[in-house]
Amino acid sequence: MRIKFLLTLILITSGYSAMAQFKWPEDPEKRSDAQTKWTLFSDTEKAGNYDAAKGHLEYILENYPDLSESTYIKGIAIWDESWENGKTEAEKVKAATKVMSLYDLRFELYPDSKKENIGRQAISAYRYYIADSEKTQYLLDLFKLTYELEGNEAFYPVSRYYMQTAVLGFARDIGLTDEQILDIYNRCTEHIDYQIKKAKSQNKSTKAMDAGKEFIDKKLADLNLIDCDFIVDKLVPQFKANPKDEELANKIFVYAFNGGCTDADWFLEAAKMVLETKPQYGVANLLGSTYLKEKDYVNAKIYYNKAVEIAEDNTDKGKAMKQIVLMERLDGNKSEARKLAIATVEIDPTLKEEMYTLIGDMVMQSDECNQEKSQVNDRARFIVAYEYYLKAGNQLKASQAKSYFPSGGEIFTEGKELGDSVTVGCWIQQTVKLQKRPEQ
- Taking only the tens of pLDDT, the chain with its 440 residues reads 444 434 443 443 444 334 458 999 999 999 999 999 999 999 999 999 999 999 999 999 999 999 999 999 999 999 999 999 999 999 999 999 999 999 999 999 999 999 999 999 999 999 999 999 999 999 999 999 999 999 999 999 999 999 999 999 999 999 999 889 989 998 999 999 999 999 999 999 999 999 999 999 889 888 888 888 888 988 899 999 998 888 889 889 988 887 788 888 899 999 999 999 889 999 999 999 999 999 999 999 999 999 999 998 999 999 999 999 999 999 999 999 999 999 999 999 999 999 999 999 999 999 999 988 999 999 999 999 999 999 999 999 999 999 999 999 999 999 999 999 999 999 999 999 999 998 75
The Cα–Cα gap between 330 and 309 comes to 22
Which residues on neighbouring strands pair with residue 423, listed in sequence order? 431
Phi and psi torsions of 430, nearest 5°? -140, 150
Q: Quote the pLDDT of residue 121.
A: 97
Residues of 419-430 as b/e, b for ≥16 C-beta within 10 angstroms?
eeebebeebbeb
DSSP state letters, 294-325: TT-HHHHHHHHHHHHHH-SSHHHHHHHHHHHH
What's the predicted TM-score (pTM) here? Answer: 0.61
Q: Quote the pLDDT of residue 13.
A: 40
Q: Quote the pLDDT of residue 17.
A: 39
**Class of CATH domain 2-197+205-223:** mainly alpha
Phi and psi torsions of 225, nearest 5°? -80, -25
> What is the separation of C-alpha 47 from the centre of its chain, rounded to a whole number of angstroms?
42
C-beta separation of 41 from 53 below 8 A: yes
> Helical H runs in 331-415?
334-347, 352-364, 375-392, 395-402, 408-413
> Helical H runs in 26-156?
28-46, 50-63, 69-84, 89-109, 114-129, 136-150
Longest CA–CA span in the chain (Å) reads 116
Domain ranges within the chain, ordered by starting residue: 2-197+205-223, 366-433
The Cα–Cα gap between 247 and 187 comes to 11
Q: Quote the pLDDT of residue 20.
A: 59
- 184-187 long-range contacts (CB < 8 A, ≥24 apart) are 184/140, 185/216, 185/219, 185/220, 186/250, 186/251, 186/254, 187/147, 187/159, 187/162
